[in-house]
Amino acid sequence: MREKAVIVTVNFDSIRRDFELSDLAAELEELSNSAGLAIVKSLMVRQKNPNAALLIGSGKAQELADLVKKEKANVVVFESNLSSTQQRNLEEIIQVKTIDRTQL
């Protein structure tokens, strides 16, 4: 049985990107499917700057935790790279395995 995943794409106002956020989300969804994950939800987050502790804000992290619980997901995949501290902190809040695209 495939693991259920929520994918998260973050748009930081402070970082200029030459491509659409929806394109990043679509690519991450394809990568996740190729890795054997079943995508149950895709979340796009807009934020001014990366949060050093969580990448996203604490309110958005709690919203993500609620979404994961509702969808009964086993894993969260971030499009952005996570530091080991961010990964650990997110896993404490979300209560499921949390990885980034490079760990996929």
Which pTM does this prediction carry?
0.92
The residues pairing with 42 across neighbouring beta strands, listed in sequence order, are 7
- pLDDT at residue 18, as a whole number: 54
> How far, in Å, CA of 28 to CA of 36, rounded?
12
Task: Please say whether the beta carbons of 52 and 25 come within 8 A.
Answer: no
Query: Domains of the chain by range and CATH?
Result: 4-100 (3.40.50.11060)
Q: Splitting the chain (104 residues) into consecutive groups of 10 residues, what average pLDDT does each group show? A: 94 69 87 95 90 96 98 97 97 98 93
Q: What is the DSSP string of 10-53?
A: EEETTS--SS-HHHHHHHHHHHHHHTT-EEEEEEEEEESS-BTT
